[in-house]
């Protein structure tokens, strides 16, 4: 194939996301090699969208590789895990030194670190690239979180910045950091997404089952909230979902949907990773637990038969105030979840030597991705003020925001308990907030318990050292 006809980039794996990413490259003027294990998918793409740009269909990975100019840039868009390894194993021997394999799936960052090291041994670049925004984002402009080497990123940057979402002239794409950094940040995006969705769901539950609002009315509340600090894609689509009427029954759509939430696993990965790093991510964890509980049908049915709710439902004196309080609780709890998420990215960055710029992560999440929101600009500004902020919650802007919200937040958690409406996200976030700011925590008692039953020792507030009490003897204290 003549040099001028060689493809700029290739995509193998033409499922919805892969197909739309390929279309996005083509619609932005790049010549795109396209391949799918079953050739029908490639044919379908060419038949339906071939007119959109300059595609180079390939019937085999060999043809796909041969269609590419150097350094070759091959984007793999197949399911995470085994299928991705399979494509890497098959295509690597076809590539030459300096070529770049990009995994655009939701891969686990540890798999990405392994793959990056393996391919580096072979003189190849491996880029774990988080792509957020779903099908529409992949086509019209996702938030893109590539990891890998700076050399690989410089070869990819012109293409990725062209296809990424753009906010105020800034593409929602940046080099996140080496090896698995990109997929780690994408994983945290998904963990935050879970927490955000759970908090919105709890707000809905309180408005619906606490105040007795109909779905359409709750949708109007979310529409109103979307004009303020809570403006976000997730709040916007919540209003749409709640306004939707089921065509088959004429009932509110949300009432005909089975109340059992699915999860592909990225939220779970996030919580496990945060636990391994020692960072509390109560918001994300409660969101994962809530999804699991919702699907635990047997236990739920048994509990519905056996467990009573509040004897006398609480009376809510001021309904308007309660709606405002829920808004405040949602914003404050969302802040806690984002603070925990950014704490986790910072800790992993230190652990793995990634040097992730947290302000830049907020910047590229302003558009294209599922958690895109106005308040990510506030997060960017917070890290611009202090790159080493110990917690988002102690930034002047955010500490004031939570201070303004906390009375309403506390009323919501208290009322929810009296109403018997579960709010694990709101209540765990409030407890995290109160624990983080507490001058003394009951961990002192836990240290005493541990020393008594396991001689695990403790430290003192009044002098350095490690101590143990002879609990079974004269209870004297000895220094260890
Ligand atoms: C995105 C989405 C995407 C996927 C979710 C759904 O960033 O575009 O987060 O990755 O739709 O991960 O995952 P669950 O099935 O776990 O909710």
Q: Tell me how far the alpha carbon of residue 19 lies from the centroid of ligand 1, in angstroms.
A: 17
For residue 304, report the distance from its CA to the centre of ligand 1, in Å. 31
Please state, for a pLDDT cut of 90, what percent of the chain lies above it. 97
From the candidates 116, 193, 202, 286, give the one annotated as an active-site residue. 193
For residue 471, what pLDDT is reported? 98
What mean pLDDT is reported for the chain?
97
133 CA to centre of ligand 1 in angstroms? 8
Query: Residue 196: CB partners within 8 Å, gap ≥ 6?
Result: 232, 234, 334, 337, 371
Q: Whose CA is nearest to atom 11 of ligand 1?
A: 134
Residue 441 · residue 435 · CB < 8 Å: yes
Q: Which pLDDT value is given to residue 316?
A: 82
More confident residue, 317 or 409: 409
Q: What is the pLDDT of residue 374?
A: 83
Rounded to 5 degrees, what are φ and ψ at 156? Answer: -95, -25
Q: Using one digit for the tens of pLDDT, what is the confidence trace for 160-212?
A: 999 999 999 999 999 999 999 999 999 999 999 999 999 999 999 999 999 99
- Ligand 1 centre distance from Cα of residue 271 (Å): 15
Q: Is the CB of 143 under 6 A from ligand 1?
A: no
- Residue 372 pLDDT level (bands cut at 50, 70, 90): very high
437 lines ligand 1 (CB under 6 A): no
Q: Does the structure show a pLDDT above 90 at 95?
A: yes
310 Cα–ligand 1 center, Å:
36
pLDDT band at 354 (very low <50, low <70, confident <90, very high): very high
Nearest CA to ligand 1 atom 4: 134
Nearest residue (CA) to ligand 1, atom 13: 264
Confidence of residue 153 (pLDDT cuts 50, 70, 90): very high
Closest atom of ligand 1 to 143 CA is: 7
Q: What is the DSSP pairing of strand 143-146 with strand 166-167?
A: unpaired
SS3 252: strand
Contact status, residue 200 vs residue 330, Cβ threshold 8 Å: yes
Pocket lining: 266 vs ligand 1, CB cutoff 6 Å? yes
Mutation to probe ligand 1, out of 109, 131, 183, 193 (largest number of atoms < 8 A from CB):
193
For ligand 1, atom 17: residue with the closest CA: 263
For the CA of 106, the nearest atom of ligand 1: 10
Q: Residue 2 has what pLDDT?
A: 65
Q: What is the DSSP string of 58-124?
A: -SSHHHHHHTBPSSPEEEE-S-TTHHHHHHHHHHGGG--TT-EEEE-S---HHHHHHHHHHHHHTT-
Respond yes or no on whether the N-terminal peptide bond of residue 343 is cis (omega within 30° of 0): no
Examine the residue annotation and report whether 320 is marked as an active-site residue of this protein: no
Helix (H) or strand (E) holding 273: helix 266-277
Q: Which range (3-17, 108-122, 141-155, 262-276) has the least confidence?
A: 3-17
Q: Tell me: the pLDDT tens digits for 97-136?
A: 999 999 999 999 999 999 999 999 999 999 999 999 999 9
Distance CA 185, CA 167 (A): 19
When pLDDT is cut at 50, 70 and 90, the band that residue 309 belongs to is very high
Q: Looking at residues 87-98, what average pLDDT do you find? A: 98
Asked if residue 132 has its Cβ within 6 Å of ligand 1, the reply is yes
Instruction: Please name which of 56, 60, 59, 108 lies closest in space to residue 84, comparing C-alpha atoms.
Output: 108
Is ligand 1 within 6 A of the CB of residue 80? no
Whether 264 is in the pocket of ligand 1, judged by its Cβ within 6 Å, is yes
Residue 351 known to be catalytic: no
- Average pLDDT on 298-308 reads 97
pLDDT of residue 465 exceeding 80? yes
pLDDT at 57: 97
Adjacency order of strands within the sheet including 125-132: 54-57, 31-35, 9-12, 73-76, 100-103, 125-132, 143-146
- CA-nearest residue for atom 5, ligand 1, is 190
* pLDDT number for residue 312: 81
Strand partners, 54: 31
- Give the tens place of pLDDT for each residue, 226-282: 999 999 999 999 999 999 999 999 999 999 999 999 999 999 999 999 999 999 999
Residue 275 CA to ligand 1 center (angstroms) comes to: 21
Residue 51 has phi, psi (to 5 degrees) of -75, -10
Q: What is the pLDDT of residue 4?
A: 64
Active-site residue identified among 186, 202, 286, 334: 186
């Amino acid at each position: 194939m003549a040099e001028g006809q060689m493809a700029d980039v290739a995509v193998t794996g033409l499922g919805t996301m892969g197909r739309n990413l390929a279309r996005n490259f083509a619609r932005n003027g790049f010549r795109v090699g396209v391949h799918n294990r079953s050739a029908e998918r490639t044919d379908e793409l060419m038949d339906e969208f071939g007119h959109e740009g300059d595609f180079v269909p390939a019937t085999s990975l060999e043809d796909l590789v041969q269609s590419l100019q150097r350094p070759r840039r091959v984007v793999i868009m197949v399911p995470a895990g085994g299928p991705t390894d399979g494509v890497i194993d098959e295509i690597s021997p076809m590539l030459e030194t300096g070529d770049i394999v990009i995994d655009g799936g939701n891969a686990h960052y540890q798999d990405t670190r392994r793959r990056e090291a393996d391919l580096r041994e072979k003189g190849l670049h491996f880029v774990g690239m988080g792509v957020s925004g779903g099908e529409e984002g992949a086509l019209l402009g996702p938030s893109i979180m590539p990891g890998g080497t700076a050399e690989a990123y410089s070869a990819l940057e012109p293409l990725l910045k062209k296809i990424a979402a753009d906010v105020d002239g800034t593409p929602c794409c940046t080099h996140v950091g080496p090896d698995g950094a990109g997929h780690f940040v994408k994983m945290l995006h998904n963990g935050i997404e879970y927490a955000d969705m759970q908090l919105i769901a709890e707000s809905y539950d309180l408005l619906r089952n606490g105040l007795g609002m109909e779905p359409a009315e709750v949708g109007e509340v979310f529409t109103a909230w979307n004009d303020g600090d809570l403006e976000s894609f997730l709040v916007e689509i919540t209003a749409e979902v709640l306004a939707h009427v089921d065509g088959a029954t004429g009932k509110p759509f949300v009432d005909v949907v089975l109340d059992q939430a699915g999860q592909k696993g990225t939220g779970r990965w996030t919580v496990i990773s945060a636990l391994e790093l020692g960072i509390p991510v109560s918001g994300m964890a409660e969101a994962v637990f809530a999804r699991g509980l919702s699907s635990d049908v047997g236990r739920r049915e048994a509990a519905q038969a056996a467990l009573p709710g509040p004897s006398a439902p609480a009376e809510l004196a001021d309904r308007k105030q309660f709606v405002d309080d829920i808004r405040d609780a949602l914003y404050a709890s969302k802040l806690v979840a984002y603070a925990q998420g950014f704490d986790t990215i910072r800790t992993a960055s230190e652990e793995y030597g990634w040097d992730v710029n947290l302000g830049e992560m907020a910047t590229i999440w302003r558009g294209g991705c599922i958690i895109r929101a106005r308040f990510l600009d506030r997060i960017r500004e917070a890290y611009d003020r202090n790159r080493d902020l110990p917690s988002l919650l102690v930034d002047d802007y955010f500490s004031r925001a939570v201070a303004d919200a906390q009375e309403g937040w506390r009323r919501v958690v208290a009322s929810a308990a009296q109403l018997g409406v579960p709010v694990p996200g709101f209540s765990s976030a409030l407890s995290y907030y109160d624990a983080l700011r507490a001058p003394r925590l009951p961990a002192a008692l836990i240290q005493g318990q541990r020393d008594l039953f396991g001689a695990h020792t403790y430290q003192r507030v009044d002098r350095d050292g490690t101590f143990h009490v002879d609990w079974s003897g004269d209870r004297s204290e000895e220094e260890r």
